[in-house]
Amino acid sequence: MRLVGVVIAVLIAVAACAVQSSEQSEGAYVAPRGPGGIHPDLNGIWQVMNEANYDLERHMARSAMQEREGPYGPLPVPKVLYLGAVGSVPPGVGVVEGGKIPYTDEALAIKQENQQNWLQRDPEVKCYLPGVPRATYIPQPFQIFQGDDKVFIAYQYAGAVRDIYMEDPGPAPIDTWMGWSAGRWEGDTLVVEVTGLSEQSWLDRSGNHHSAQMKVTERYTRIGPDHIQYEATIEDPETFTRPWKISMPLYRRMEDNAKLMDFRCVEFVEELMYGEWRKEPLER
């Protein structure tokens, strides 16, 4: 019995040393340098592996086809929307630090109404550009192009793109779907401040929204050969009671032939958005 106790103690000590060594190695990771040889190389095709686009907050699996209340009780859901497991929301542990998005009372009411009517309201359904930070966790890949003093990001979804200006570009001239991105390096982290974002964009399919006053501060940090830690701090005093943050890892696409494909989703929504004006409507 004494020998067994010694063996167990040795195994625990070895395991502890292995964990400590792993943590030290992870903390000591030094990313290869990118163009110019100064900053970490962020070039590559990246994608998330989470359920943030369904709902940023922690959530259980549920039907995406919510019953809606009408003046005389619940409104029936059209048969065409009964999609089985395809028409469901998978569970997710959430990416919001602290768990809940700190809405004002008025903004929370709008969020809840959006969620009940997301099929009619979500800009993603209509193939509008996703905005920031949603473009990062739309479940499709994106590619970072990093030069000596320039950074450009191309997204597969809807052909969205954005320039990250590494010299102060001044204030955004107008509000746009993808906003106005000003970048800088803080050590080995690329920090991007995004303003000028259209209030029409949503943060996910659950109706999480914002105003035109939203400012997003993104942080991209290489934490391994094939991983970037992504963080986004969101400030919007018109919608939220305080700043809040999301965080998630980004994973490198490892296929030999990895590339962004052509996803022109406009053609998929023409009937949805404009079909009622057909001279001869399609049969439903």
Burial 212-240 (b: 16+ CB within 10 A, else e): eebbbbbbbbbeeeeebebbbbbbbeebb
Q: What is the mean pLDDT of residues 165-193?
A: 97
Q: What is the mean pLDDT of the chain?
A: 88
Task: Identify the pLDDT of residue 7.
Answer: 44
Q: Is the pLDDT of residue 24 over 50?
A: no
Q: Is the pLDDT of residue 52 over 90?
A: yes
Q: Is the pLDDT of residue 224 over 70?
A: yes
Q: Which of 76-90, 144-158, 169-183, 196-210 has the lowest mean pLDDT?
A: 76-90
10 — pLDDT class (breaks 50, 70, 90): very low
The domain spans of the chain are 44-254+263-274
How is residue 175 written in tokens? 């509000």
Task: Identify the pLDDT of residue 72.
Answer: 44
Task: Identify the pLDDT of residue 282.
Answer: 73
161-165 and 151-155 strand pairing: antiparallel
pLDDT above 90 coverage of the chain, percent: 72
275 — pLDDT class (breaks 50, 70, 90): confident
Task: Identify the pLDDT of residue 159.
Answer: 96
pLDDT above 70 coverage of the chain, percent: 83
Residue positions counted in the chain: 284
Distance CA 62, CA 73 (A): 21
Q: What is the mean pLDDT of residues 180-198?
A: 98
Q: What is the mean pLDDT of residues 174-199?
A: 98
Sign of CA dihedral 136, 138, 141, 145: negative
Question: pLDDT tens for residues 65-90?
Answer: 754 544 444 545 554 456 778 888 99
223 — pLDDT class (breaks 50, 70, 90): very high
Distance CA 204, CA 47 (A): 16
- Name the residue with tokens 């800009």: 123
Question: pLDDT tens for residues 109-152?
Answer: 999 999 999 988 999 999 999 999 999 999 999 999 999 989 99
Q: Which of 22-31, 35-44, 245-254 has the lowest mean pLDDT?
A: 22-31
Distance CA 28, CA 150 (A): 27
